[in-house]
Structure 1
Amino acid sequence: MVRLLASLYFFIFVSIIVINQSSEYIWRNWGNQAPNELSYATQVAVNLRDVLNSVGVEHYDQKETLNIININDVAWFPEQRIALENDEVVISFDSNDNYQLSMLLSDDESIIQLGPFAPSRASFFTKYGFRLISFSVLGLLLILWLRPLWRDLEQLKVITERLATGKLDIATKPSRFSAISALTQHIQKLALQTASLMQNQKQLVNAVSHELRTPLARLKFALAMLAPKDPQQVHAMNQDVVEMELLIDEMLSYARLEFSEREMTKEHVNLSELVQEQIDKSAATSRKQITQAVEPNIIVNGNEHYLARVLQNLLQNAEKYGDKQIFIELRALHQGEVILSICDDGPGIPIDKRNNVFSPFTRLDTSRSKETGGFGLGLAIVAKILGWHSGKCWIEDSQFGGAAFTVTLPTIQKLKT
């Protein structure tokens, strides 16, 4: 930042000096080509004095128009008096910049004064045109200084956009004239390292998917062969293997979400129909009483598959930990949002732990027993998918005494029925 500020200060300082000197030179040699009126008036005054000295003031035809005074009637400055005695024209100015010409006649006593004369006013272009041109040149020079900086910022934008969408082929060319070229190179290096880590993670997920499933399949086959010898022990071991498979599936599913956003397409989704569809699926297998209050024809912009995954995870959560009943409510708000609430009558979630449940592999042992299953990834998946859709989820106390999961999403419209 110090380099950037120093570069900008030095550039503006030098530019102003160059522009001022150039403007002054142009004005002297091009913009002020008209005859100097003061020099012209002085020459006319000298000619008039010569005429008066030659013919005499008393014989001049227009002597009544002349202002002739005695030299002692005016308190001259010493240098002015010397100039008059040396036959020079003395120029004086009043408070309005009007000028007056004074000169001594040959009798060494009479002073003839011409004026006062108002100086000619500069034209509009002369007064403001050079200022406008000077500021325009300064603005152009600033644009030239900012161009390499703008190019580097654009490349930083491209880097972040490509990383956000999962595109790892990053190649940029920072400008060596930019004041932030070093910063751009550091960020590009960091982006390449991040891209490498993302690529390694993707390869690790693929490797885990293949390398862990193969030994587990062999272990299940071996357990099946040993089942007749010790059925009870083999059954317990087989449950552990199944749990490992489920854990691997859940981990891989969460890991793949990191690469799914760039492939996700969004469209108009009738959230009311999607919620109703998921409720019907849950009601077909649930032993709990499910009630609902779903407003019809609420449209959101999103991916139907991933929004369905959010609903599935929340409904499964309510099914696992609810006691006897589940309540689902969907309604549109006036602020352009839709709100979805899924309430249960289970043990609930302590206030100080509600934010933690959206972190991966977080399980609340005090309120959620291991027998209910789950690995602490379901709500983490919900939070990630809602983030893609500019939504959010939080936990409140349910009206039935359990937990109430509330989801908000930006809505497009509510269709008329």
Structure 2
Amino acid sequence: MIRLLISLYLVVFVSIIAINQGSELIWQHWVYQAPDDLRHAKQVAKSLQTSVINTATPDPSLNTLHVDEVAWLPEQRNQLLQGDIVTTYTEQNHALLSFLMQDKQTLVQLGPFMPVEPVVLPKYLIKLSSFLLLAVLLMFWLRPLWRDLMQLKYVTSQLAKGQLDISIAPSRFSAIANLTSQFHTMAKKVANLMSNQKHLVNAVSHELRTPLARLKFALALMHKDAPEQVTLMSEDVQEMEVLIDEMLSYARLEMAQSELQFKPFDFVELLHEQLEKLNRVTSKHIVFDCEHEQLYIVAERNYIARVLQNLLQNADKYAREHIYLAMTFEQGQVNLFVGDDGIGIVPEARDKVFEPFIRLEKSRNKTSGGFGLGLAIVKKIVTWHGGGCEIQTSQWGGAQFVVHLPAQVKT
């Protein structure tokens, strides 16, 4: 902080001194060395006054008139009587130089002269140039700092996308060298943690599935001796296997954003595929509303299919008789609606259902299945695609999940 403050102070201090000195020299040279016709005319008039003031008859070439022929102000008349040269101006703003002869009655007028206008424009140009020069100097001072900040921003964005092999080379002359070095260390630790998590997920996937497979095989052999007990144990094993699959799926999603492959596909076709799968396992009435026969969008098809699958399975679990699925496309955005006629979700609990392992005790209990990860997966995938999720009340009073996806349409 002290180093940054001192460097900024020195840059501003030296810049102001240099600009002030340079502006003063330029101003003096520009203004005071410029030719001044009126000033020279006054010098000539003074010399002429000295040469003709004592002559009885002025030179006929001079413009003479009686002093009373001009309406003088009292101050101007006093100046004339004292022998001064008085400057007056015509209606056209031309200057006239007047002085009295020795008799104090004869007035000699010289002119008219075009007065020199004040040098206003160069003055403002000098000021503007000074401010621009100060801005340029500050820009050169800020450039290394801005470069370092942009480098930090780039590394942060790459880490957020899952790129773990990003590194930065901090310069010891940088004003934020310590911050850059600490950020580099933090980025390496985050990369190591994400890499370790990936290896852990793979190890857990293998180590847990193997004993579960052995347990299922052993239960199958014991089925003849105690069918009821084995059936209950098999259900528990299957539930554990589903839980492991959900946990591993969610863990993989934490690291899968960098592997997304956005390709064009028919979104309406995907809706029909998921509806056919649901029709095979449910007896509930499904209402499907879609005005489009085809709609090609650019997205990650597998993950969008997972969103549809989770939402439809969720609706099937809690619906009494009806399930609602609709899709609209407006202003470059796909709007997906999945509703049911179940008990619904109270407004104060709607933001919580998208969090991992959150299950609403009153409306959604273990008998209906689920571990609180399905909607969390939906939220994460939709967020990856730059969309959003919300919960409304369906036309039957149940829950209606609305997904907004800013989709790029492929024609």
- TM tier, shorter chain? 0.7 to 0.9
Q: Which residue of 1 aligns with 2:41?
A: 41
Q: Which residue of 2 aligns with 1:140?
A: 136
Q: Which residue of 1 aligns with 2:26?
A: 26
Q: Which residue of 2 aligns with 1:306?
A: 303
Offset at residue 307 of structure 1 (A): 0.9
User: What CA deviation, in whole Å up to 9, does each residue of 1:313-354 have, x standing for no partner?
Assistant: 111122223233323222334x54333222333333333323
Instruction: Say whether residues 1:404 and 2:411 are aligned partners.
Output: no
Q: 1:359-378 counterparts in 2 under 5 A?
A: 359-378=355-374
Q: Which residue of 1 aligns with 2:325?
A: 328
Contact in 2 for aligned 1:216/1:245 (Cα 8 Å): yes
Contact in 2 for aligned 1:300/1:410 (Cα 8 Å): no
Instruction: Say whether residues 1:168 and 2:189 are aligned partners.
Output: no
Offset at residue 261 of structure 1 (A): 1.6
Distance 1:36 1:140 in 2: 35
When normalised by structure 2's length, the TM-score is: 0.78
Distance 1:40 1:220 in 2: 115
Which of 313-322 and 167-176 deviates more? 167-176
C-alpha distance 413-204 of structure 1, shift in aligned 2 (>3 A): closer
Distance 2:106 2:120 in 1: 42
Which of 383-392 and 41-50 deviates more? 41-50
The share of aligned pairs that are identical, in percent, is 49
Offset at residue 403 of structure 1 (A): 2.7
Contact in 2 for aligned 1:318/1:344 (Cα 8 Å): yes
Contact in 2 for aligned 1:57/1:63 (Cα 8 Å): no
The two structures, once aligned, show a CA RMSD in angstroms of 4.5
C-alpha distance 411-31 of structure 1, shift in aligned 2 (>3 A): same
Distance 2:190 2:44 in 1: 84
Offset at residue 150 of structure 1 (A): 2.7
C-alpha distance 306-59 of structure 1, shift in aligned 2 (>3 A): closer
Distance 1:119 1:223 in 2: 114
Counterpart selection for 1:264 from 260, 267, 284: 260
Distance 2:392 2:39 in 1: 91
Question: SS of the residue aligned with 1:407?
Answer: strand
Question: SS of the residue aligned with 2:256?
Answer: helix
Which amino acid is the alignment partner of residue 313 of structure 1? N
Which amino acid is the alignment partner of residue 398 of structure 1? S
Distance 2:407 2:277 in 1: 24
Unaligned runs of at least 5 residues, structure 2: none
Offset at residue 120 of structure 1 (A): 1.7
Q: Which residue of 1 aligns with 2:52?
A: 52
Offset at residue 92 of structure 1 (A): 6.4
Distance 1:57 1:200 in 2: 115
Distance 1:74 1:311 in 2: 97
Which of 268-277 and 4-13 deviates more? 4-13
Which of 187-196 and 316-325 deviates more? 187-196
When normalised by structure 1's length, the TM-score is: 0.77
Which of 360-369 and 130-139 deviates more? 130-139
C-alpha distance 352-62 of structure 1, shift in aligned 2 (>3 A): closer
Kindly tell me the number of residue pairs found equivalent between the two proteins. 405
User: What CA deviation, in whole Å up to 9, does each residue of 1:346-385 have, x standing for no partner?
Assistant: 3333333232221111222322332333211111111111
Q: 1:181-330 counterparts in 2 under 5 A?
A: 188=184, 190-220=186-216, 232-295=228-291, 296-330=293-327
User: What CA deviation, in whole Å up to 9, does each residue of 1:243-290 have, x standing for no partner?
Assistant: 222212111111111222221122333221110111112212323333
